[in-house]
Structure 1
Amino acid sequence: MFSQLKNIDTAFKHIKTFSIFLILANLITICFVIYSNSRITEKASERIYLLYNGKVLEAIASDKKSNLPVELRDHIKTFHQYFFNMSPDDKAIRQTITKALYLADESAKKQFDNLKESGYINNLISANISKDIQVDSIRLNINQYPYVFTCFATEKLVRSSSTVYRRLITQGVVDELKAKTDDNPHGFLIRGWEILENRDLPSKP
């Protein structure tokens, strides 16, 4: 009889051990399933499907932080192109400057007013000079907010008789706005913008 009780006790211990092992295995399996589902859901949320010309295209979404330097540089580049690209036409200049002023604060308006008061805009029009800008590089610090930048560019002034190149360096900071608009698609605003250098380069042979 003692032998039977001993066997029952041993069997009970085996069943208890097996039950604990089974419960732990189920818990591990459930945790793994939950983790796998969350990963699948996360990856699925990063995929965007676009309908273009009757075809379904798949795109991958990314967070704003990964695209931040690209968007900031494009905003800064676009602003400088609107501000400095000028044709000898008063209406065209007003249109591009208006676009530039949507991307910056009153510091840009002040710089443009200085150009007008100095007679620079009138001289550009009367001398039939067209001006284009090539942004060479943008130094950007995204670890500090507002984001500090320095823009290095080359201006090309084309007259009927000659072409002059100028070195341009500007700096400022960029703030994030709460909303994006058609006039400001990146939702940034350049503040405290100033021109550090704008001088003629040696003539190219």
Structure 2
Amino acid sequence: MLIKNIEQRIKVNKIVSLGTVAFAVIILLASFFFAYRMIQDSRKSIYILDNGVPVLAKQTDVLLNRPVEYKAQIELFHRLFFTLAPDDAYIKENIQKSLYLIDDSGKKEYTNLKEKGFYNQIVASSSMVSIHADSIQLDMEQKKFSFFGKQMITRKSAVITRKLITEGFFDDIIRSPNNPHGVMLKNWRIIDNEEISNQTKNSY
């Protein structure tokens, strides 16, 4: 009788011990799982500076908003590259800012226009150059864009309007003060820059 009681106690002790170990393993695995989930959630959180104030944003929101940032970057580059005044320092400053947003294809086009005397003509004729973006089309699969707009050249005697169609590719890079959207434009080229109107100003 005594032996049976000892055997039963040993069995009960084994069951309790095994149950305790199994429970501890479950608690350990659950802790690892919840810790992993917390790390994953923290990685999805991004702090964006809004006038110097850090604002929490979810990564999913940023990814959903990415096409808007691509278009904003494309519009910003074209505005900087094609907004010119009859001032060498102003032209160089705008071009320099625009070249932070694009690969060497932007520098090549700048050199091409410079060699043709385009910038010298702007300064010599006291012209103002601006652009208007009509639309920007994105191909998210190929990461390709097409820019459709108009270029206005305002001279003392006339206002010339030219068609401006360009295309290129875009890629994600690390955000920086000179490239706040974290987008690099690539293999950019001007497709059409045909003159569509030349309006003479009235002289008084």
- Taking structure 1 as the reference length, the TM-score comes to 0.69
The aligned amino acid for 2:82 is F
Cα distance in 2, alignment partners of residues 51 and 116 from structure 1: 38
Q: CA deviation at 1:59?
A: 7.2
Query: What residue in structure 2 maps to residue 71 of structure 1?
Result: 69
Aligned residue runs from structure 1 range 134-153, under 5 A: 134-144=132-142, 147-153=143-149
Q: CA deviation at 1:96?
A: 0.3
Cα distance in 2, alignment partners of residues 123 and 47 from structure 1: 46
Cα distance in 2, alignment partners of residues 47 and 112 from structure 1: 36
Change (3 A) 1:143 1:165: same
Cα distance in 2, alignment partners of residues 124 and 136 from structure 1: 24
The aligned amino acid for 1:75 is Q
Spell out, residue by residue over 1:101-147, the C-alpha distance to the aligned partner (whole angstroms, 9 max, x if none).
00001100000000010011101110000000111100101123xx1
- Choose from 184, 187, 199 the match for 2:182: 187
8 Å contact 2:158–2:199 — kept in the other structure?
no
Query: What residue in structure 1 maps to residue 111 of structure 2?
Result: 113
Give the RMSD, CA atoms, in angstroms.
3.3
Change (3 A) 1:162 1:181: same
Cα distance in 1, alignment partners of residues 50 and 71 from structure 2: 29
Q: CA deviation at 1:202?
A: 2.9
Partner of 1:103: helix, strand, or coil? coil
Partner of 1:201: helix, strand, or coil? strand
The aligned amino acid for 1:188 is V
Spell out, residue by residue over 1:50-80, the C-alpha distance to the aligned partner (whole angstroms, 9 max, x if none).
999xxx9x97645232111100000000000
Cα distance in 2, alignment partners of residues 148 and 51 from structure 1: 29
Spell out, residue by residue over 1:168-202, the C-alpha distance to the aligned partner (whole angstroms, 9 max, x if none).
0000000111x211000011111100000001113
Query: What residue in structure 1 maps to residue 156 of structure 2?
Result: 160
Cα distance in 2, alignment partners of residues 51 and 92 from structure 1: 28
Cα distance in 2, alignment partners of residues 188 and 112 from structure 1: 20
Deviating beyond 2 angstroms after TM superposition, the runs of 4 or more aligned structure 1 residues are 45-48, 58-62, 202-205
Q: CA deviation at 1:159?
A: 0.7
The aligned amino acid for 2:155 is R
The aligned amino acid for 1:98 is Q
Cα distance in 2, alignment partners of residues 60 and 183 from structure 1: 21
8 Å contact 2:132–2:149 — kept in the other structure?
yes
Query: What residue in structure 1 maps to residue 124 of structure 2?
Result: 126
Q: Which runs of 5+ in 1 are unaligned?
A: 1-37
1:96 aligns with 2:94: yes
Q: Which runs of 5+ in 2 are unaligned?
A: 1-36
Query: What residue in structure 1 maps to residue 82 of structure 2?
Result: 84
The aligned amino acid for 1:139 is Q
- Choose from 163, 167, 173 the match for 2:169: 173
Change (3 A) 1:121 1:51: closer
- Taking structure 2 as the reference length, the TM-score comes to 0.70
Change (3 A) 1:51 1:172: closer
